[in-house]
A and B are shown apart, each in its own frame.
Chain A
Amino acid sequence: MRKGNISLTLSYLMLIILAIGFLYPAIWVVMSSLRVGDSLFSDSLIPKQLTFIHYRDLFIEQSDKQVFFMRWFWNTLKIATTSMVLGTFIQILTAYSISRFRFYGRKTIMSLILILGMFPGFMSMIAIYIILLQLNLLNTPYALILVYTAGAALHMFVAKGFFDTIPHSLAESAQLDGASHMDVFMKIMLPLSKPMITYISLTTFTGAWVDFIFARLILRSRENWTLAVGLYELVNSYSSTEFTLFAAGAVLSSIPIAILFLFLQRFLIEGITAGANKG
């Protein structure tokens, strides 16, 4: 019995240490955002005096610092939402076609998707940059949406695994009643795949929200930036002199994603587990 208690105590001790480790950076950045002054250095974790001035500063465009936080936030939201809608649609469409139909070239397409999916798009960014230049889309949000959406189909394996588990008989009986392929997809499959759609929407939305590389490559002028580029530049160009402002920006940019994650946790776990099971 005593041995059991020791191991239990040790377990709790581990859990507490880990919890501190996991929470500390988050708490620190929230506290920094509430601190008076603008430097990285602070005497204590919890500031002696709390202030919301840095949050206010984010919403007022100041002439000496070019921090267009509102615009960046709005740009990011626009790009992420549009990419989510288009990307989810394309991903579901691809997954459904490949799961449901046995057509010529199917295995080849699947291997191709798997290989290309592991190959990050940004590696061939020189070409993407030149293509976008030719299309006259550089420095526009459309370019980013196009890039995110064009690659969406490459992440279809989780959704394909999901469609694999829906019995064929369901579609077949509907087709006997005269439903077309499109009817089956829209009226039977889509309603059944709500959890999967939630998972994919969540991942494509966050994917676009947090993407740094393409945003930095494509968006050239300050007012077109997204949060990732803006906050990176804020850290880079002012480093430790505007830290509290950055902290406030970081907190505000994290909140939407954090809320989505915590509320949709169930779908995330299902999605990740499905990804592992279906390979």
Chain B
Amino acid sequence: MGKHAKMAALLSVLFMGIGQLYNKQIIKGIIFILTEILALYLMVTMLIEKIYGLITLGSVPTHLEKVGRVYVNIPGDHSIFMLLEGLISLIILLLFISMYVSNIKDAYKNGQLREKGLNAPNFHNTIRNINDNSFPYAMLFIPGLGILLFTIVPIIFMIFLAFTNYTAPNHIPPKSLVDWVGLSTFKDLLFLKQWKNTIIGVSMWTIVWAVLSTFTCYLGGILVALLIQQKRIKFKVMWRMIYIIPYAIPQFISLLVMRNMLNYQFGPINQYLRYFGLGGLPWLNDPFWAKVTIIIVNMWIGIPSSMLLTIGLLGNIPKDLYEAADVDGASKFAKFRSITLPYILFATAPLLIMSFAFNINNFNVIYLLTEGLPANGDYVFAGSTDLLVTWLYKLALDNQRYNIASAVGLIVFILIASLSIYNFRRTKSYKEEDMVQ
């Protein structure tokens, strides 16, 4: 006795499932054995080849070959499909490896049980255990698969692309091959004069935009809410209904409407300005004014939700705080400064960072309102009001500069991820969630 654990583990190292058979867990053992057979089969027929393809990204480009008397176009390797298939194969392989490891652990654990003179649980019991302990895993399986395939794989794929030369005009499959090029995309982006100008300019505007749009909406919302909730204001519900209207209109509609409303020649706003003898403003046609316009339009869209939030929070402030302040003879302003404001700021601080991150990626406002225009001669494939994300979109979809687009995406990703980790570490739901109960 006393050797069951090591023996079982060793057997499971040799071949998945043998250790379980040794522990007399027949059905579980057979399932593990079948898994390994499947894994080996897939590896031989597919996985190895695909993963090798991920390394080489193909070696035969599409070319002409002489068949008989005529030249025929022979399709070559499609590097990008190979990249994606290789990536998915790699993930499948990792899943198999993790199953292999858990198979060894399982054999060892049940071997220990046997050393103590107990029987390893039979299949029926295992199923019941799974039902009790693995319920969350079962529930999370489908959402997890969705996130894996449509969020995680694309992100890794994008990171990979940043290290290739997948770009127009010379490296677009199936016509030609794509290769790994290491850091040269990043070098171009950061040191080639035109790219450097663009990325610095666009990044600066992205940050300025994110800061301004977040604060204008946030403060604007608080101010409007406080304005409505003053004691002596009548028809509170009516005012609130009016101010919610922008929130209830689909954003793309508001933006497209605004774009027409602010049209330089025919838009009604300039018409009014001209009527009063003021020349029309180039709302969307001048680099500076376009930026101002975007922020104002964004306030129109963003203030209502921030106002709703503040109104909700105002109702949550404990009344006794104000009563205590009244007893102490505090002025209206003092109550506002020391009770209302700190309460609102404290409650909304995490949201502020969230909306900052959201605004960095606020594609719709820019793309639907200005499409990044007016044009800017110093930039490559970007206009004066382009954010990093809209620039990325243009790089990839309009100009097929996929590697540069991916490198830009990677930069945004790092920016957002660090913000969100910072935010997450300080939220209540992470630190003290079990204290609620």
Binding site for B on A (CB under 8 A): 8, 11-12, 14-15, 18-19, 21-23, 25-26, 28-29, 39-42, 45, 90, 93-94, 96-98, 100-101, 103, 106-107, 109-111, 113-128, 130-131, 134, 146-147, 149-154, 157, 160-161, 164-165, 167-168, 180-181, 206, 209-210, 212-213, 217, 228, 231-232, 235, 240, 243, 246-247, 250, 253-254, 257-258, 261-262, 265, 268-270, 272-273, 275-279
Query: Could you list 30 A-B pairs, sorted by A, with CB under 8 Å?
Result: A11-B227, A11-B230, A21-B300, A22-B304, A29-B257, A42-B268, A93-B140, A97-B135, A103-B136, A107-B430, A110-B430, A114-B424, A118-B357, A121-B154, A122-B389, A126-B396, A126-B402, A126-B406, A127-B155, A130-B157, A150-B150, A161-B429, A164-B433, A212-B367, A228-B252, A254-B249, A258-B245, A269-B312, A276-B347, A278-B428
- If A23-B245, A40-B267 touch, does A97 touch B136 (CB 8 Å cutoff)? yes
Report Cα–Cα, A41/B429, bound state, in Å. 53
Contact of B239 among A15, A150, A164 (CB under 8 A): A15
Contact of A232 among B245, B368, B433 (CB under 8 A): B368
Is B350 within 8 A of A276, CB to CB?
A: yes
Report Cα–Cα, A124/B313, bound state, in Å. 36
Is A164 within 8 A of B436, CB to CB?
A: yes
Report Cα–Cα, A250/B254, bound state, in Å. 9
Binding site for A on B (CB under 8 A): 80-81, 84, 131-137, 139-140, 142-144, 146-147, 149-155, 157-158, 161, 224, 227-228, 230, 232-233, 239, 241-254, 256-261, 263, 266-268, 271, 300, 304-305, 308-309, 311-313, 316, 347-348, 350-351, 354, 357-358, 361, 363-364, 367-368, 389, 392-393, 396-397, 402, 405-406, 409, 412-413, 416-417, 419-421, 423-424, 427-430, 433, 436-437
20 extra A-B contacts, CB within 8 A, seeds A40-B267, A147-B150, A210-B252: A22-B246, A40-B263, A41-B266, A90-B142, A113-B147, A114-B424, A121-B150, A123-B389, A126-B154, A127-B155, A127-B157, A128-B150, A130-B80, A150-B149, A164-B429, A164-B436, A243-B260, A258-B248, A273-B312, A279-B430
| Secondary structure dominating the interface of A | helix
For residue B139, give the distance in angstroms from its CB to the closest CB of chain A.
4
Report Cα–Cα, A157/B420, bound state, in Å. 13
Please name all residues of chain B whose beta carbon is closer than 8 Å to the beta carbon of A130 when the two chains form the complex.
Answer: 80-81, 84, 157
Is A254 within 8 A of B266, CB to CB?
A: no
Please name all residues of chain A whose beta carbon is closer than 8 Å to the beta carbon of B354 when the two chains form the complex.
Answer: 118
Report Cα–Cα, A90/B149, bound state, in Å. 15
For residue B240, give the distance in angstroms from its CB to the closest CB of chain A.
9
Is A149 within 8 A of B146, CB to CB?
A: yes
For residue B232, give the distance in angstroms from its CB to the closest CB of chain A.
6
Please name all residues of chain A whose beta carbon is closer than 8 Å to the beta carbon of B308 when the two chains form the complex.
Answer: 268-269, 272
Is A253 within 8 A of B139, CB to CB?
A: no
Is B146 within 8 A of A97, CB to CB?
A: no
Q: Which residue of B lies closest to A251 (CB)?
A: B253
Please name all residues of chain B whose beta carbon is closer than 8 Å to the beta carbon of A21 when the two chains form the complex.
Answer: 300
Please name all residues of chain B whose beta carbon is closer than 8 Å to the beta carbon of A261 when the two chains form the complex.
Answer: 244, 247-248
Which 8 residue pairs are nearest across A and B when measured between Cβ atoms?
A: A150-B146, A124-B154, A279-B427, A127-B154, A273-B312, A153-B143, A261-B248, A150-B150
